Structure 1
C-alpha cells in the first residue's frame, strides 16, 4: 500500500486551508478541489504556498516534507506573497503585482532570506529542495547576519555558504550539459531524417535492434550507453536497475560489446546505484539529526524540574 503523505491546501486568497492525507500529486489535486469547493472538472495548478514554486513532478512532490502547504490555482490566477494578499492586491493582474514588488523590493528580499534561514534552522536537509533563487539569496546575505539568524558560528556559516555556492555551480553545469545533450539529439534527428532509407538499412544491420524491443530500452538510453563516457552517471535509477536485471549477457547482445566491456558497464551501474542509495540514507540521517537537536535541551529542563 502506498504511504500516505500529510499536507495542507489553500486557495489563492489563503482564507481557506485544509489538512489532507494523500498518496500522489494527482490525488492532492482531486481531494484539494473537493475541500476548497472547486468544480471536479476544474483544471488547477499546484504551487508551494510560501514561494509559488510550481509542482508538476511526482518525485519532487514525494520528496517534500510532511505538512507542506500547497496552493491550488485556476488557469487565470497568479501566486502572490502572503503580505500582498493581505493588502488586497492578490488576483490575476500581473501589472499590479510588479508595481508593488518594485516599491518593496528591499523589504521582500530581507523577508525572503529570513524565511529561508528559519527553514534551514528547522531542517538543514531542506537545502536540497531550494530553488536556485533561494540559494543565491542565502549566499548574498552577509555572513554575520546569516550566522545570527541560524544560531551558528561565523566559521560554520561560511562553510554553509560555500556549500550553497558549490550546489549552485553544479546545477548550472548540469543545465549546460542538458542543453548540449538536447542540441546533440536534435542534430542526430536532423541527420537521420535526411536519408530515411539509409537509416532503415543501418537499423537492420544492428544486432541489438530486436533485443532493444524486448528489453524496453529507449533510443536515448541506448545512445547514452553506447556513445557516452561514464554512462551510468546519466541514467535514472530505473534504467540502472534495468541494466543490473538484464545482466552481462543481454547487455552484450544489446550493445554489441565483448563480455569484458559489458561486465565493466554492469559493475559501474551497480556502484552508481549503491552510491545514490547511500546519498538517500545520508539525507535521512541528516533529517533525523536535525530533528533531534532540540531533544538534549528538553531532557535538561526535565532534570532541572525534578531536582526542584
Structure 2
C-alpha cells in the first residue's frame, strides 16, 4: 500500500487553507485544486508556503515532514512572504485581519482586486500594508464596481480612490526626491561638468532602472510591469515615473509607445509631451542646484583670494615700521 502524507495547501493570498492526505505530489496538485476551487485544466506550481521553495521532485516531496504547508500558484501568481508588522502597528496582526473562508470567494473568476477590496472592507488601515501594484489596481477599478464590492456609496468609494492615489503619489514623491538627489551628487562629482541639457537617454540609462521587488520586465515592450501600470494610470502618470523611466519613455517615440500602450496617436502624443515636460523640469532643477553649488564655491574662492591680496598689501607696511 502506498504511504500517504498529511499536509496543508493554501492559495497565494493565504486566505484559504485546507488539510489533505495524499500519496504523491501529483495528487497534491489534483486535490489541492479541487479544495481551492481552481479550474482542473489550469496549470499550477507547488511551492513551500513559508519560503517559496519550488517543489517539483517527487522524492523531495516525500521527504518533507508531515503537515508541511504548500502553496498552489497559477501561472501569473507569485509567492510572497507573510507581511510582518511590529512596533505601533502590531495590533494589525490580530485574527480579524484574516478573512474567513466564506468572506472571500477565491474560486475561478474572482479578480485579485476583489480580494484587496475585501481586505479594505475588513480594515481600512490595511492600506499601509499594500504594495504599489495593489494600490494601483484598486485605483484603476471603475468607481461603481469598487463601491459595490465594499458596500459603499459611490461618493465614498470615490473618496477612497482619491486617498489611495495620494498614498501612491506620496511614495512616488519620495522616490523622485531620492532620484533627484542622486543626479545632483553625480553632477557635483564631475570636475568638468558641462551644462546639462534634456537630451535623449542612452542605452545605459535604460538599463540602469532599479527594479522594485516583485516587478518583472515585460519581454515584449522592455518596460517594467510597474512602469506600464503607472503609464496607464488615471491621473498625471508622468509625475509618478522616475527620471530614468521618463527618459526611456521619451526615447521610444510616439509610434513605439502606441504599440506598447495600445492607444491612438493623439492620446500617446499627449502622454509623451507631458513626459518630456516633466523630464525637462527635473533636469532644470538639477541644473539649478548645480549652478547654486558652483556659485557658492566661486564666491568662497573669491573671498579667499581677496583676503590673501589684503594680507599681501599689509605685509610691507608692517615691515617698514
Pairwise same-fold verdict (TM > 0.5): no
Q: TM-score, normalised by structure 1?
A: 0.31
TM (norm. structure 2) is 0.30
